[in-house]
Structure 1
Amino acid sequence: MAKAHRRGADTGSATPATVQLDAAGVAYRTREYEHADDVHDFGDEAAALLDVAAERIFKTLMVELEPAPSRGPALAIGIVPVTGRLDLKALAQAAGAKRARMADPATAERKSGYVVGGISPFGQKTPLPTYLDSSAEQAETILVSGGRRGFDIELAPNDLISVLQAHYADIARD
């Protein structure tokens, strides 16, 4: 089921992510599906159940930066297609750090306010520097988690960049 939303729309399934997007006045669609508890490949599940090309579905990953960029947080967000992997070296370079490593899942949940598999780049408890893989620029719309498993948000990549003050970067690899 897909719903189109604009600022002030009654989402019926409000999450901190949709609240942030509504406040920003960004157009988006919610895409919901029945998540199976025994499935841990959330991207493949979403692609199959939403009948969307997997290259358009992006996962949100939290990383620790070492050393932390001057005057910046030690954490950052990388958003890459579910068909690939996050290139930690490329993300570290984009963030101005020497190294990056995946954040502990408990840290990611605590800082984002979401559970792993449902971490949205929007509405996080602690806003972090965010980097969207440049492959997103080729798509009219992409899908990211809406804040819970089985709930995605479809929007234009440039709207994601604008709302989050994010940056495009070549951070994905096969």
Structure 2
Amino acid sequence: MSHESVKAHFRKWNHEDRIMEFETSSATVEQAAETIGVIPARIAKTLSFRGEEGQAILVVAAGDAKIDNKKFRHLFNFKARMLTPDEVLEQTGHAIGGVCPFGLANDLKVYLDISLKRFETVFPACGSTNSAIELSCEELYEYSSAVTWVDVCKGWEEEKEQKPGAISSQS
């Protein structure tokens, strides 16, 4: 059912044929990366958190990123608490290993972490433990009906320390 809701979601743009289905599992970042043949960071993992008033929020982040509790609390004004597997299924309609921001059971707020922006394309799951789709960040934003881009992760940034005498570019 979950995978079918994602197919129906992409049918709106005639993109259901872009969904890849695999013989092997893509349930974890590592399995998905190995199955697809990309580095784990390019897997767009969807994390489910307890939001306000019982409504979950979803954060889609790069496969090598981890939630930074301080950044999360500062942005959302509540503590980052992951949903249980049962709550994830109830809120999203997708079981753990296939959670994605498409074809959701409820109208949930979706946020995209900037950790994804360093890649031309990323690979979110498609509602099952053996599926994914390759999307540009712009497509991911559009097809997930994301609220906005956020900066709530850590562990993915490139080394910021410069060697002595190195010229740094300010942006």
Change (3 A) 1:18 1:89: farther
Change (3 A) 1:15 1:27: closer
What corresponds to 2:7 in structure 1? Answer: 18
TM-score (norm 2): 0.77
What corresponds to 1:147 in structure 2? Answer: 127
For residues 114 and 98 of structure 2, the distance between their equivalents in structure 1, rounded to whole angstroms, comes to 22
For residues 23 and 73 of structure 2, the distance between their equivalents in structure 1, rounded to whole angstroms, comes to 35
- In structure 2, the residue corresponding to 1:19 is in which secondary structure? helix
Query: Higher strand proportion, which one?
Result: 1
- In structure 2, the residue corresponding to 1:148 is in which secondary structure? coil
1:76 to 39, 42, 57: 57
1:172 and 2:161 correspond: no
For residues 21 and 89 of structure 1, the distance between their equivalents in structure 2, rounded to whole angstroms, comes to 35
What corresponds to 1:51 in structure 2? Answer: 37
CA contact (8 A) 2:71 2:152 kept: yes
For residues 104 and 133 of structure 1, the distance between their equivalents in structure 2, rounded to whole angstroms, comes to 21
Measure how far apart 1:27 and its partner are: 8.4
What corresponds to 2:24 in structure 1? Answer: 35
For residues 145 and 35 of structure 2, the distance between their equivalents in structure 1, rounded to whole angstroms, comes to 30
Measure how far apart 1:58 and its partner are: 1.3
For residues 17 and 117 of structure 2, the distance between their equivalents in structure 1, rounded to whole angstroms, comes to 17
Range 142-151 or range 17-26, more displaced: 17-26
CA contact (8 A) 2:58 2:101 kept: yes
CA contact (8 A) 1:91 1:131 kept: no
1:104 and 2:93 correspond: no
- Percent identity between the two aligned chains: 24
Measure how far apart 1:131 and its partner are: 1.0
Unaligned runs of 5+ in 1: 1-13
For residues 75 and 23 of structure 1, the distance between their equivalents in structure 2, rounded to whole angstroms, comes to 24
Unaligned runs of 5+ in 2: 156-171
Change (3 A) 1:27 1:75: same
Runs of 4+ aligned structure 1 residues displaced above 4 Å come to: 25-28
1:60 and 2:46 correspond: yes
CA contact (8 A) 1:61 1:79 kept: yes
CA contact (8 A) 1:28 1:153 kept: no
